[in-house]
Amino acid sequence: MKYLRYIILSFVLISFVLAGLMIKRFASPKLVQEQTGLVEHIYATWDTMEFDKCVAAWLILRFIDNDAKFIFYPQGTEIKQGILFDVPGADWSRKHLQCTSQCILASMQNSDSAIEEIVSIASKTELNFWQLDRWPQAQKCFYEVKEIMDQNPDPLKCFEKTFLYFDNLYSNLKKDGVTDNGTGVIEQFDQSF
């Protein structure tokens, strides 16, 4: 009985700490930073381009913040301005078995099967790159986006071009329907650019 009060108090304190961690984990970085008074609509990342980063930026601009502006820092430098994504320590960054796009998707309030399929493709390219031949559509998308990245070394230009690519992919997936059925092959999918 003497220690019961301390046990209960410890339990309550631990519960509050865990609740705070869960709120931080699942809150949108944008909302967290708006509450702290930091600059809105500025999203910052490193200047290296990769498939998942392009999908992540497309998700941010098209489905989270239509006024998003992107700034880039040299890889490895500390970023002190903007809402971070796809850099170590950012809420929206690769974590164990989740790519950056999956972290963003988890924070979105609304989604649809076309968005989920594009994020699935990003996940396959990011987490299973050496097995991409198992998913022909993901492999095809990866190499098409890689070509865009290779032809557009400027990060903003690269985002501009890949956004058009993902807009077209999204439109086709919405129009034709996503019928993956767990096979990794999207049926009735025509992507002509």
pLDDT in tens, 78-110: 998 899 999 998 999 998 889 999 999 999 888
Output the pLDDT for position 147: 97
pTM over 0.75: no
Would you say residue 189 lies in a domain?
A: no
pLDDT reading at 31 higher than 50: no
Q: Would you say residue 17 lies in a domain?
A: no
Q: Is 123 contained in some domain?
A: yes
| Domain containing residue 152 | 29-176
Whether 110 is in a domain gets the answer yes
pLDDT band for position 127 (cuts 50, 70, 90): confident
Question: Using CA of residue 117, residue 118, residue 121, residue 122, what is the dihedral sign?
Answer: negative
Structural domain count, the chain: 1
Range with the lowest mean pLDDT among 1-10, 14-23, 56-65? Answer: 14-23
**pLDDT by residue (tens digit) across 45-67?**
999 999 999 999 999 999 999 99
44 in any annotated domain:
yes
Residue 13 lies in a domain: no
Q: Is residue 24 part of a domain?
A: no
Grade residue 30 by pLDDT with cuts at 50, 70 and 90: very low
With 70 as the cut, is the pLDDT of residue 10 above it? no
Does 167 score more than 80 pLDDT?
yes
pLDDT range class, residue 115, cuts 50, 70, 90: very high
- Residue 14 is predicted with a pLDDT of 62
**Considering the chain, what is the average pLDDT of its residues?**
80
Within a domain: 192: no
- E strands present in 28-158: 42-46, 69-73, 83-84
